[in-house]
Structure 1
Amino acid sequence: MEPLSKRHTDILDILARRGYAAIEELVETFNVTPQTLRRDLQELSDRGLLRRHHGGASANLSTANADYGLRHVETASEKAAIARAAAEFVKPGSSLFLTPGTTVDALAKAVAERRPSGLRVVTSSTAAAAILDKCPEISIMITGGRWLGPNRAMGGMHAASFVEQYRCDLFITSIGGIDQDGNLLEYRDDEAVVGRTMLRNARRSILLADHSKFSRVAMSRVAHLSEIGTLITDREPGPATMQMIRDARCELIIASPAR
């Protein structure tokens, strides 16, 4: 792999300090054209060193996720398509575990629009609960635990203990990242322990992961892809990732965004 240029190194230094920078700011800082700057960001994104967003980029760190509001904008159409495909699995009268995350928020919206009667949801996400609250046919239980403000969620051992009291038909989760060995990774131990507990107590599991999750790093291990029944993503992964999915014997569903 070629060494980084000075401008690439400086871009990464800025993102490490500030978390996020807009393209316009970086164009002015480095006195280059927007086209040149976008090529820089794409090259660094392809190497897994930053995350591209509409209008900017953020640091790709194993210990910190992007801002919650920013994640709602990032790959929004892809997340909506994934959510619509996943909502097909949520049946009236069933029970459901939900973790936090903007892709799961999109799922909650898709589920609420379908208004499945008799659905019971156990979640650590206050954001998902607020979305589902618009549908009175759905019974919602929120875990206790440590407040995780950046992710609009509860977490930690108290939340995991709450989850242990239930057995649900379905566990639907997003994830911080998936590494090349098939490990499902999150940014916080407090979230990972709840995800592991939900997975262990569910009869079926579905992972929601847009294409960007296959190039992201995170620190806390939740599970391995082989423990997941179905993976829903928005585009066909590359050859190495496809082989990893086949080796894990995980069903793959590709939900292309509506054109």
Structure 2
Amino acid sequence: MMCVFLPRFDCLELVEISLTCDYKTNVMGTLNMLGLAKRIGARFLLTSTSEVYGDPLEHPQKETYWGHVNPIGVRSCYDEGKRTAETLAMDYHRGAGVEVRIARIFNTYGPRMCLDDGRVVSNFVSQAIRKQPMTVYGDGKQTRSFQYVSDLVDGLVALMESEHVGPFNLGNPGEFTMLELAEVVKETIDPSASIEFRPNTADDPHKRKPDISKAKDLLNWEPKVSLRDGLPRMVNDFRNRILNEDEGKGNK
């Protein structure tokens, strides 16, 4: 079986031109890769995102939920880019017989992430290790669900080896507010770490939690690593890299 994987790109925190590129990557990139999959008879994996649900009115979110997305908001380049990518994948599946698999990935963390990629877990961990205040946007009561990277990999493999198209939610149903996440980071790294509140970003979803019943039933998959078990593994990696980064600056 040949497989084509489309990488998951996140550019939400970058400049305006990058936001445009994010939409073009998701749409044109998916279109190009679907064409390749059709030509060579490959099974195609689309790594979509929980962002297709927008600021959801259903909680937790099932795959049958169509979402609540602002199509002209500052985040829409990513939200709508992935929604369009799913449309293209299903059109190629129905119209051209391409074998597709669609995974809707929820917040994922783990070792070897970029130290300053703008995601909340890597932000908090990097800031706490560097003795900087952890930045919380808004009141910190918005929720997310955090999945360790090895659980995601297991889910993607199970999906690709199955006969089910999807979409499938792949995420950890454990739900944390941003303030609760900050407390777990403090427990893991530095109990004296402080929090700095800033104005919230536009169209920030209030709640995010996957219903993974479909993946459990059809893929025999569910996450195994809790946030309190997975976070120390990420912290060890981040601490080593930040230490090496600081030592490198000292040698200049």
TM-score surpassing 0.5? no
The normalised TM-score by structure 1 is 0.25
The normalised TM-score by structure 2 is 0.25
Which has more strand, going by share of residues? Answer: 1
